[in-house]
Amino acid sequence: MKIYKDHDFTQEVKDEIFDLGIVPAGETKKFTFYIFNDSNAFLKNLKFSVKHDEVRIIKFPEKLAANMSGELILEWKPSVTLKEGLKARLRISGIELWG
C-alpha cells in the first residue's frame, strides 16, 4: 500500500510520516491524501490511526480492491503554533485476502 499527497500519484508520502506543516493555534486544517493498493490482494477491515491527540482521521477507505485507491482525510486543530510544524506517523492495519 502506498500513500500519496496528490490524486495523480506523483508525490509519495515516505515511511508513512505526514508533514502537516504549520497551522496557527486554534485554527483547523484538513489534509487529503490518497491510499493506493499496489498489491494483488483485496484489503478489508482497514483501520488508520495517528498517534497525536490533535489530529483526527475524518475519512478513510475501509476496503480497497487490488490496484484501487481511496481518500484519507486528516484534520489538525493545534492548541499551540509549532515553529517547525507537525510530523505525524500513520498506522495502518487490516486484512489481506488473496485469491
Q: What is the pLDDT of residues 48-71, one digit of tens each?
A: 999 899 999 999 999 999 999 999
Interatomic CA distance for residues 52 and 56, integer angstroms: 8
**What confidence score (pLDDT) does residue 51 get?**
87
The architecture in CATH of the region 2-97 reads Sandwich (2.60)
Residue 45, all three cell numbers: 477491515
Mean pLDDT along residues 58-86: 93
Higher pLDDT, 83 or 27: 27
